[in-house]
Amino acid sequence: MNIEYSKAFIKAATKLDGKYKVSLARKIEEVKAALTVEELTDCKKLEGFSNTYRIRIGSYRAFFIFTIVNNTVCFEYLVSRGDAYNKEYLKALKTKE
């Protein structure tokens, strides 16, 4: 799959500690190697969205939008588990989808 990153995702990824950076890098490699979204581990589709998914990376959640036409994954947000389902993030994801 092709991968794109938002500015918010890159900013959050640079602030991660060492073990989370390694986990994130592994997860990104897994996404690149996968042919479909169903092959990804710890990945769930968000309810109420058509193409938005989340991947669990320890105590963080990475939200991405999958575009079927281009077979592209665009990582939008990387947030802690407690903030993951904040209405602000979900509303922003809805507008991007």
- Helical (H) or strand (E) element with 68: none
CA–CA separation, 83 and 87 (whole Å): 9
Is the confidence at residue 7, as pLDDT, over 90? yes
Other beta carbons within 10 Å of 9? 20
Is the confidence at residue 68, as pLDDT, over 80? no
Is the confidence at residue 26, as pLDDT, over 80? yes
Is the confidence at residue 39, as pLDDT, over 90? no
- The single residue listed with the structure tokens 């998914």 is 53
39: containing domain: 2-96
> How many structural domains is the chain composed of?
1
Residue 21 maps to which CATH number?
A: 3.30.2310.20
- Helical (H) or strand (E) element with 96: helix 87-96
Stretch 40-56: mean pLDDT? 90
Specify whether the CB–CB gap between 64 and 42 falls below 8 A. no
Which residues neighbour 4 within 8 Å (Cβ) at sequence distance 6 or greater? 72, 73, 74, 75
Give the predicted TM-score (pTM) of the model.
0.86
pLDDT category at 96 given cuts 50, 70, 90 is confident
Specify whether the CB–CB gap between 55 and 13 falls below 8 A. no
